[in-house]
Amino acid sequence: MQRFKNNAIYAVVRAAYALLLRLPLGWISGLGSALGVLAYAVAARERRRAMDNLSRAYPLLSHATRAALVRRMWIDMARSLLEMVTAARLSREELSQRVELSARARQVLATALGEGRGVLFASAHYGNWELLAARVAADVDVSVSVLAKPSYDERLTAMIERMRAALGVHDIWVDRPSHLRRALGALRGGAIVGVLVDQPVRGAPGVPFFGERAPTSRMLDVLARLSGAAVVCGFIRRQGQRHVIDIELLARDDTATFSQRTTATVEQAVRRAPTQWAWSLDRWRSDKAQIVSRVDGPLVSEK
């Protein structure tokens, strides 16, 4: 039964993907908005989780206000998904027009790359994070990879890998034994490696996030220590039909880990634009979170 369900889902995704590649690009935003409204209506479990998370972060918000924020979140996430699927159809100039990488952001990247030990790029499930990676890849002369969790279906994983590769972004799948070695190899070769720091990790140490401790991967700290790479933190914000990227360079600081500092920076970004973050993540639930990398198991358990 499960195999039948997976095959059906894959067939629907394949058909939808083929259709999207043929639709006029001008339809993508409106179609994404409609899909977002539909997702808000039918994804009851994720909707409840997002509402619960918002009540933890903003306890004084009314139910109606939280519902409006979650609905807007779903719309933006659906638009982001369709934008990612169709982004390979854009020329480099069109991508640059839709996604702004300011002169300051480019200078931060140049400074980080200039250290010659690769760059760890920390971000979050915020805005269209896929376009963030694609825009950075289009602007730099080095390889760009992302540490990513694969889909439950290897066929969907392969589709995601092809879509990212078409945008100049390479996957390092964290379920594979070689992922840490591959990430270190990329950094030592001067590449950029992206890490989403807001993925909950079972058994990981808690880091303050909206006043509560959230289980947070130590991957960023481990890679920074082993590679000596520069660490930057960047986000992409939706502004109408366009996107704007902000990046800052993080100096090494003995008083706080990179995971703590980037989590605090994620919170600041979310407070500025609450609908841009994926509130449906199980961010604070250590018992329900998944181990996203083998590095989190043995390292976290050591005393």
pLDDT tens digits, one per residue of 79-99: 999 999 999 999 999 999 999
First to last CA, the chain: 43
pLDDT value of position 286: 57
- Phi-psi sector, 253: left (phi>0), alpha (psi -120 to 50), beta: beta
C-alpha 127/C-alpha 238 separation (Å) is: 6
Q: CA torsion angle for 246, 247, 253, 255 (degrees, to 10)?
A: 30
**Mode of pairing for the β-strands spanning 169-173 and 144-148:** parallel
In this prediction the pTM is 0.91
- Centre a 10 Å sphere on the Cβ of residue 257 and count the other Cβ atoms it contains: 18
pLDDT score of 263 more than 90: yes
Q: In the prediction, which pLDDT does 136 show?
A: 97
Under a CB-based contact definition with an 8 Å cutoff, are residues 160 and 90 in contact? no
pLDDT at 294 over 60: no
Summarize the confidence of residues 154-166 as an average pLDDT. 94
Specify the pLDDT at position 281.
93
Q: What is the torsion angle, in degrees rounded to the nearest 10, for the CA atoms of residue 48, residue 54, residue 56 and residue 62?
A: -100
Q: Are strands 230-239 and 242-250 parallel, antiparallel or unpaired?
A: antiparallel
What's residue 296's pLDDT?
54
pLDDT interval class at 244 (50, 70, 90): very high
The pLDDT value recorded for residue 297 is 46
pLDDT of the residue at 23: 87
| pLDDT at 226 > cutoff 50 | yes
What's residue 12's pLDDT?
A: 85
Q: What is the pLDDT of residues 174-188, one digit of tens each?
A: 988 899 999 999 999
